[in-house]
Amino acid sequence: MYALLKHLIAIIPYFIWKRLGKTRGKSNFFFTDGVKIYYEDHGAGEAVILLHGIAGFVESFYKITPKLSKSYRVIAMDSRGQGRSLDGGKEISYSAMSKDVIELLNHLGIRKANVVGWSDGGIIALHLAIHNRDRLRAIVAIAANSKVEGLTDYGLNFFQNVTPENWSFMSRWAYKNFAPHPENWPELIYKLKEMILTSPNYSYEDISSIKIPTLLVIGKKDHLVRVEHNSKIMELISGSELIVFKSATHHLPLECPNELVNIIDIFIHEHTARNISLSEIFWTKNTPS
């Protein structure tokens, strides 16, 4: 309860920043495949798309967005059916959500963007890198899995048994207060459970086909996704890198926001241009011994 209260209090400055800060200040909806999708547009510069985790919302990145928007045009979207977005009674899948990202880029007239995804958002980033590499500059996948087997035993058990009533309080609170139809919460959770228990299932060939700059980030104490699974993804993607935060869990963007923003910034602006190895910079502090 203390941790929850701490996050509820900590998010207040984010809403103040969003209302009063010197950002692009654009919050809007667009339609794709008959589905109404919500997004926010902050800052200026090279485009960075933020994709939240399962049953999340744009505010999931409340510790990251203000910092990134100082250097980038940060576009955060609520994935279909989640947050303020609707699903139009249609499927929720990684393929469908990836298409929504491409349609958002088209809507905004952005040819290429960097994608930073957390958990399910990271899975979407991998999907985009496999199927839409021509629209991406680079991806950062935080605590993502490429196969269902990438979940830990705890994670698999959690998603098998979780109910709409005992899903995380923050997600339930946000959906109740942000979603246009909060009564759809149970239906959403059952759709998401079916998706996450049956997908993704990207083959080794799929992952090996990724040819754009790729950074994998995960907490060593992640309780939902296996660290060794991310190591395997790194091995399959030529030139990719993996950063492991020793003290972080699945909630890494909330636990280590400053370090994460630093890593993202180095990766986007220096790593590919100057061939700087992130593992050389962060090895002692953030990778497993």
Question: CA of 82: how far to CAs of 18, 37, 203, in Å?
Answer: 20, 9, 27
Residue with tokens 């309080």: 169
CA dihedral 11, 255, 129, 50 (to 10 degrees): 10
Identify whether the C-beta of residue 49 lies closer than 8 Å to the C-beta of residue 68. Answer: no
pLDDT score at 286: 40
CA distance 288 to 244: 6
Identify whether the C-beta of residue 155 lies closer than 8 Å to the C-beta of residue 223. Answer: yes
HSE (side-chain half, CA atoms, 13 Å) at 234: 20
pLDDT score at 284: 36
Which has the minimum average pLDDT: 99-103, 166-170, 234-238, 240-244? 166-170
Which has the minimum average pLDDT: 36-40, 227-231, 265-269? 265-269
Q: Which domains does the chain have, with CATH numbers?
A: 2-286 (3.40.50.1820)
pLDDT score at 285: 37
| 69-84 per-position pLDDT tens digit | 999 999 999 999 999 9
Higher-scoring residue by pLDDT: 270, 59: 59
| 32-42 per-position pLDDT tens digit | 989 999 999 99
Closest CA to 53 of 143, 173, 185: 143
Q: What is the mean pLDDT of the chain?
A: 90
CA distance 85 to 179: 7
**Is the pLDDT at 21 greater than 90, yes or no?**
no
**Is the pLDDT at 288 greater than 70, yes or no?**
no
CA distance 264 to 247: 19
CA distance 62 to 254: 8
* Residues making up the chain, counted from first to last: 289
The verdict on pTM exceeding 0.95 is: no
State mean pLDDT over 177-184.
Answer: 95
CA distance 261 to 255: 12
Using CB atoms within 10 Å of the CB of residue 218, give its burial: 0 to 12 exposed, 13 to 18 middle, 19+ buried.
buried
Q: Pairing mode, if any, of strands 35-42 and 26-32?
A: antiparallel
Query: What are the tokens at 135?
Result: 């629209």
Question: CA of 149: how far to CAs of 92, 118, 160, in Å?
Answer: 20, 18, 13
pLDDT score at 154: 98
| 138-154 per-position pLDDT tens digit | 999 999 999 999 999 99
